[in-house]
Amino acid sequence: MTMRVSGLRQCMTPKKSRSWNIVTTVILVIMHCSPIAFGVFLFGLVSTIVFASDPEPTTDFVLPRGVDSAILDGNYFTSTILRNDTMGSGPYSTTTQVSVENFPALQGLGISMSLARYSPGAVVRPQIHPRATELLYVLEGTLDVGFIDSTNKLFRQTLQTGDLWLVPQGMVHFLSNLNDTSEARAVAAFTRSNPGYIDVAASIFGSNERISKQVLSKSFKVYESVIQTLFEAQEQEPISSSVRASP
């Protein structure tokens, strides 16, 4: 074993050549001297790429520029946003999002959450969180939920109080309150400090520049007049992420 390591070290001393890229040279030398060493190197390289999207923290926490950690106290790590959960209210439900945008202490920690109230019969239309997986916990009520994977398979469930529901990152999902007389409440945790939010319908029919009616009519297999009606409805009242379910 000692002779093998010594030989490898000797082989890993190539002649300097300005015409060679350093990284390429190292890879070729390792491949020539030791297939096992190359395998270890390749595994390390792949691992670095895989985990690059969510690196391990190198400090206890991340501070905004210009903030001195010496003057911080417990207030920096405390948020009172959920004392009044009416932020971002829609016509039939309210959602309070707690992310790095309104709670800076979350920066770099890969976590955020939201608290939602759903009025009787309310619907949260198809949406996407492009940067995070969601874990929903039902505090009160009954919710009909579902998400669609990349093969167009629907995973649907009826949740009761105390149930948990997982939505993988980037999946189109929806939610509705099945009870016509009582509200429902839920709290959601996300695996990023800013999970992102895309309302599917609003993105298609309410973008700053319209997608052509010809494209949409062929995509949805409907007449262009139907697409025009949807455009006009969006102009009259911007589509909210939470709307009341139709009877």
- Considering only CA atoms, give the Rg of the chain: 26
To the question of whether residue 101 is assigned a binding role by annotation, the answer is no
The pLDDT value given to residue 39: 54
Q: Where in the chain is the domain with CATH 2.60.120.10?
A: 75-244
**63-100 pLDDT per residue, tens:** 877 788 888 889 999 999 888 765 444 446 778 889 88
Distance between CA atoms of residues 150 and 147, nearest Å: 10
146-159 pLDDT, tens per residue? Answer: 999 999 999 999 99
CB 195 within 8 A of CB 134: yes
**Poorest-pLDDT segment among 58-62, 123-127, 226-230:** 58-62
Q: Is the pLDDT of residue 50 over 90?
A: no
Which residue did the predictor score with more confidence, 86 or 10? 86
**What does the pLDDT read at residue 131?**
93
Position 59 scores a pLDDT of 77
- Name the average pLDDT for the chain: 78
Question: Which of 209, 244, 242, 245 is CA-nearest to residue 97?
Answer: 242
pLDDT at 64: 77
Q: Is 201 helix (H, G, I), strand (E, B) or coil?
A: helix
Please count the CA atoms within 13 angstroms of the CA of 228 that sit on its side-chain side: 4
Q: Which of 118, 89, 236 is nearest to 180 (CA)?
A: 118
Provide the pLDDT for residue 56.
Answer: 65
* Residue 169: Cβ within 10 Å count: 16
Encoding tokens for residue 62?
A: 């991340």
Give the lowest-confidence range in 103-112, 128-137, 232-241: 232-241
pLDDT-based confidence at 62, cuts 50/70/90?
confident
Above 90 in pLDDT, residue 37? no
Residues in the chain: 247
**How confident is the model over 178-187, as a mean pLDDT?**
90
**φ and ψ of 171, to 5 deg:** -85, 140
Average pLDDT over residues 23-29: 56
Tokens describing residue 77: 């790590």
**99 vs 241, which has greater pLDDT?**
99
* Dist CA 175 CA 143 (whole Å): 7
pLDDT over 60 (residue 168): yes
Asked if CATH classification 2.60.120.10 holds for the domain at 75-244, the reply, yes or no, is: yes
Q: Does residue 140 have a known ligand-binding role? A: no
- Does 224 belong to an annotated binding site? no
Higher pLDDT, 238 or 89: 238
